[in-house]
């Protein structure tokens, strides 16, 4: 079974084609960029390309006025006979879409229907920058593959298990009741994936796992997982809150935006830009990539050192809070760009938990090994590469299989009906 995974942005579509017979395997991945703009192009890496010099894909410039044209361009590339990834478009059995915000409507992945599209549209006001492009991708998918089931996999769904006293803000309750103002949480696909992998590595069932999962990329969030379920998470109503990030502020006093408007004359409509794109590491030391910040700190740059101190402190503060909430985890799990690749950040964060018995094997930490726990550690420390696209492919294949099984059962029932006289 071939499954297409699409992650649509306003002017881009990231895609992967999976073969989901048995353990899913990625056949090709790439991106269509600058959709609707001058200079649009497709970049594709095919799993067979290293052995296949006639693969034309790598980089193709093309006119791509909209998302449907982008998907058609990807299909033409994947149909290339020399690669043999796809002989016919009807080999695609399902299309999985990453949808950032499912609000309170979705606790799991679903087949996309008109009702589901309406519900995703209802969440556009909560995440306009993400849900609007996802809908563009879904509509384009329907246009190019009218008869193929499409599935939505939500970043918020995993966090729908947060108890009410944790997802509510201490503000007038009408804000929640009338406007849906509450903590939703994000990166749920990643937190759920690494939590399940951690359970497997610890030799326990996911329903028994207590873990603190740290998704540390440009956007970062930390989740407390109890009995395999998300019970608290650092991002909130939007992906702006929580820990300090590459260019996002994370938590700050809620009065600050208003103060900046009245005292510093920053226009209200510029404040989201300032807090999303000019804050975090970048706000403190002008660099948002942790590799650059580490290099700066090594050279003795004071602002880079300060930014790193702040970053590590805020991560540790959330991990400490969730340690208490969980009554002690079984594991701390690191994932995403920084979590998977930056030993220095892991070492500095974990150092703060030495008094709770956490130890780290420095050699394994330096190699980004999967289990970096030290001798006699109180809690296992794991580094697990995330794979959100794989989860979307698995979820899509699972739902398509269920649809096929239901279709076969209906056909069986109908054939068992007595024939009309």
Query: Which of the residues are catalytic?
Result: 155
Q: Which is nearer to ligand ADP, 145 or 334 (CB)?
A: 334
Q: How far apart are CA 176 and CA 156, in angstroms?
A: 17
Q: Which of 52, 76, 218, 303 binds ligand ADP (CB under 6 A)?
A: 218
Report the nearest approach of ligand ADP to the CB of residue 186 (Å): 11
Contact criterion met (CB below 8 Å) for 137 and 6:
yes
Q: Which is nearer to ligand ADP, 75 or 129 (CB)?
A: 129
Q: Which two tokens stand for residue 45?
A: 């890496």
Position 337 contacts ligand ADP (CB under 6 A): yes
Q: How far, in Å, CA of 129 to CA of 358, rounded? A: 39
Show the CA angle centred on residue 277, arms to residues 171 and 159, nearest 5°. Answer: 45
The count of residues interacting with ligand ADP (CB under 6 A) is: 12
Helix, coil or strand: residue 8: strand
From candidates 6, 312, 338, 391, binder to ligand ADP by CB under 6 A: 338
Which DSSP symbol is given to 360? B
Q: Which residues contact 275 (CB under 8 A, 6 or more apart)?
A: 240, 248, 249, 252, 257
- Taking CB under 6 A as the criterion, the residue among 243, 342, 350, 384 binding ligand ADP is 342
State how far the Cα of 243 lies from the Cα of 226, in Å rounded to an integer: 20
Is the separation of the CB atoms in 390 and 381 below 8 Å?
no
CA pair distance 243, 133, nearest whole angstrom: 26
Closest approach of ligand ADP to the CB of residue 100, in Å: 12
Site string for ligand ADP, 232-261 (x = CB under 6 A): --------------x---------------
Q: Does 336 participate in binding ligand ADP (rule CB under 6 A)?
A: yes
Asked whether position 289 contacts ligand ADP by CB under 6 A, the answer is yes
- Interactions with ligand ADP, residue window 84-103 (CB under 6 A): none
344 binds ligand ADP (CB under 6 A): no
Would you say the C-alpha torsion 177, 181, 182, 185 has a positive or negative sign? positive
Measured from the CB of residue 386, what is the shortest distance to ligand ADP in angstroms? 8
From candidates 103, 141, 219, 242, binder to ligand ADP by CB under 6 A: 219
368 binds ligand ADP (CB under 6 A): no
Q: Is residue 172 within 8 Å of residue 182, measured between CB atoms?
A: no
Cα–Cα distance, 399 to 397 (Å, whole number): 6
The rounded distance, in Å, linking the Cα atoms of 176 and 165 is 12
- The CA distance from 44 to 357, in Å, is 46
Considering the complex, state which of residue 192 and residue 377 has its C-beta at the smaller distance from ligand ADP: 192
User: Does residue 291 bind ligand ADP (CB under 6 A)?
Assistant: yes
Q: Does 341 bind ligand ADP (CB under 6 A)?
A: yes
Residue nearest to ligand ADP (CB): 337
Q: How far is the CB of 325 from ligand ADP (least distance, A)?
A: 25
Residues that bind ligand ADP (CB under 6 A): 217-219, 246, 289-291, 336-338, 341-342
């Amino acid at each position: 079974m071939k499954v297409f995974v699409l992650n649509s942005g306003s002017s881009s579509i990231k895609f992967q084609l999976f073969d989901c017979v048995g353990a899913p395997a990625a056949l090709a991945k790439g991106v269509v960029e600058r959709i609707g703009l001058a200079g649009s192009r497709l970049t594709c890496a095919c799993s067979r390309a290293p052995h296949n010099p006639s693969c034309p894909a790598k980089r193709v410039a093309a006119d791509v006025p909209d998302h449907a044209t982008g998907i058609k361009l990807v299909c033409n590339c994947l149909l290339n006979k020399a690669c043999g990834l796809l002989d016919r478009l009807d080999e695609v059995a399902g299309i999985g879409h990453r949808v950032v915000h499912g609000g309170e409507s979705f606790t799991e992945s679903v087949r996309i229907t008109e009702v589901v599209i309406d519900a995703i549209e209802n969440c556009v006001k909560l995440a306009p920058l993400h849900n609007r492009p996802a809908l563009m991708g879904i509509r384009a998918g329907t246009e190019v593959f009218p008869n193929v089931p499409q599935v939505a996999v939500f970043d918020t769904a995993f966090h729908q298990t947060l108890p009410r006293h944790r997802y509510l803000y201490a503000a007038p309750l009408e804000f929640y009741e009338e406007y849906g103002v509450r903590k939703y949480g994000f990166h749920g696909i990643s937190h759920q994936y690494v939590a399940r992998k951690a359970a497997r590595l610890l030799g326990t069932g996911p329903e028994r796992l207590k873990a603190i999962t740290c998704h540390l990329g440009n956007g970062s969030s930390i989740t407390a997982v109890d009995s395999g379920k998300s019970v608290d998470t650092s991002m909130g109503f939007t992906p702006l809150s929580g820990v300090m990030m590459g260019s996002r502020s994370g938590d700050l006093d809620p009065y600050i935006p208003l103060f900046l408007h009245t005292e510093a004359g920053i226009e209200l409509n510029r404040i989201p830009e300032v807090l999303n794109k000019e804050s975090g590491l970048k706000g403190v030391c002008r660099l948002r990539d942790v590799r650059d910040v580490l290099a700066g700190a090594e050279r003795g740059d004071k602002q880079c050192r300060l930014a790193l101190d702040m970053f590590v402190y805020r991560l540790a503060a959330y991990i400490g809070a969730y340690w208490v909430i969980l009554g002690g985890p079984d594991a701390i799990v690191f994932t995403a760009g920084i979590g998977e690749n930056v030993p220095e950040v892991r070492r500095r964060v974990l150092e703060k938990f030495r008094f709770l018995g956490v130890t780290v094997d420095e050699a394994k930490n330096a190699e980004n090994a999967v289990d970096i726990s030290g001798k006699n550690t109180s809690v296992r420390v794991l580094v697990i590469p995330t794979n959100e696209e794989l989860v979307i492919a698995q979820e899509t294949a699972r739902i398509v299989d269920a649809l096929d099984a239901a279709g076969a059962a209906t056909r069986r029932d109908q054939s068992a009906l007595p024939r009309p006289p």
